[in-house]
Every structure is written in C-alpha cells, then in structure tokens.
Structure 1
Amino acid sequence: MVQNQEVAITAIAKIPSKAVGTLKQFDCGDKFLNEFARKQLIKNDKKNLHKGFVAIADEKVVGYVTTKVSSLVRSFLGQPGLPNSVPVLSLEQIATDVRYQRCKIGSRLLNEVLQVTIKVSQVTGVYGLQLWAHPSALNFYNTLGFSALSQK
C-alpha cells in the first residue's frame, strides 16, 4: 500500500499522455479488469461505448471506473407505477491497482460516478445508478449505502 500519495481524478478522455503508457503495468489483482485497462479502457471511451474516470498518482494510472447508460427492469425496483424499463446509469468496472488499494481511491472514483449520476438525472430523467457487484465486493458497496436488488 502506498501512503501519502497525491491522487488526481480525471476523465478517461483527459488522461495525460505520460500516464497512458502506464496502463500496461496496471494490476488490480483481477485478470479481466487488468486486461480491460490495458486494451479497452481508452478505445471504448473514444468510441463512446462507456465514459468514466481514472485516478492518477505519480504520473501513473492507479485506478479507473467506467459507466454507460442502461436500463433496469421495473421488477427489480418493486415500485408500482414505473414503466417496464427504467433508464439508469450503469457502473460497469471499477478497479484500483493493488499498490494503491485501501487508500480510498475506489471510494473517490465511485463518488465521481455518483456526482455524474445526480447531474445526469437532473437533466435527462435517469432514475439512478446500478451496478452488478462481484460477491467479494458486496461488503464494500453495502458500507457505502448501496442496496442489493432482487427480481420480484
């Protein structure tokens, strides 16, 4: 774990050129998320397949989060009077390099997504934020106030 490191959060589209090359060494401990960071993170952002943020420390990408617009089936929400499909912002991936885990970078990235969700909901009618959490991450999201949904 790296301590006392200044971390900047910026949009994926604005990653400084020095930091782009550091994606090759990104390691959050999850093979899929590492490969995504190395091969798809910037490409998908440029193609508008997702948007998101990166955390940068010492000119290296040390974390990222991606989002896209999606929909959630009403039966997951258990609220009458909603349409069958409700527009939401979907948190797709969130990862922090193992050397920076437990430094609250994931929480800071998630906070950026929550702020965007609020702004988007105010101007477009997006209902909220959804994510599909890996079972090992459920406690992380529960401590932040997220609730598990189940189809009713």
Structure 2
Amino acid sequence: MNQKHISWAVYVITDRAATRGRTMLDVLRAAIQGGASAVQLRDKTASTRDMLALGEALHVLTRAANIPLIVNDRVDVALALGAEGVHVGQDDMPAPQARQLIGPDLLLGVSAYTVEQAVQAERDGADYIGAGDVYGTPSKADAGE
C-alpha cells in the first residue's frame, strides 16, 4: 500500500462509546464492508496494553482490506503496531517531533481548528489535516465554542 496515495473518502474514527454493544471488531468489519478507506484507532482512556491489543486486532482487518490504520495521539503505539500513520491534535506531541519519530514514510495527520493551524501543520510535515469540529457531539461536547 502506498501510504501517501490513499483515498480519504471514508475515514473511520473508532469510538468505543458509539458501538451500541457491538465489539469494535464487528463495527470495523461493517465499516470496511461499507467502504471505509482509512481507519483511525482513537481511545483517549485506554491503557497502552489495551491500545496495543485492540490495535493488533484492528490492524489484521485493515491490512486484509489494504487500508491504512492510523493511531490517534500515540506515536509509541503506532510504531509498536507497525501502523501506517499517526494523528496528533493541537495538545498532543507537536507535529515536527512526531514526524521526526515516525520518519518520512508513515502518514502524519494533524487536527486544525483555524486556517493558521492548518497552514502550520502543512509546514510541520503533515500529510493531511483533520478539520476541527464545528458542532457539539457526545464525544466533543465543547465543539463550536
């Protein structure tokens, strides 16, 4: 898989709170069948061990589907999993340091909430920008403030 030339058409971000009693693996299988083109492993409360265990299981599915697995916030977990990329937010590891650790071949995504942040993320080596939230949701209650 050429990680720098992937489709961003359906970028799935995992959320255990939104699985409605299903396992994350079942949710991801359905997402892949539905056309997922990239998957972000995101779990702000999981331990490192739990992130690694879930990431390993998810990566089996994403590899089989030839789509990238991107790990949210955790450069260490992304590297340990052999994931295709990492996504950092404005309060996480700065993008230049993340890029230095992951090297030029892995994907680096950066969240941006302003045009200035997006421009800076590009300068810092981001391969893609995650546009900040506009409206509040159960997982982002402070959005749009």
- TM-score (norm. length: structure 1): 0.33
**In proportion to residue count, which structure has more strand?**
1
Structure whose alpha-carbon radius of gyration is higher: 1
- TM-score (norm. length: structure 2): 0.34
Q: Which structure would you say has the larger RCO, counting Cα contacts within 8 Å and 6 or more residues apart?
A: 1
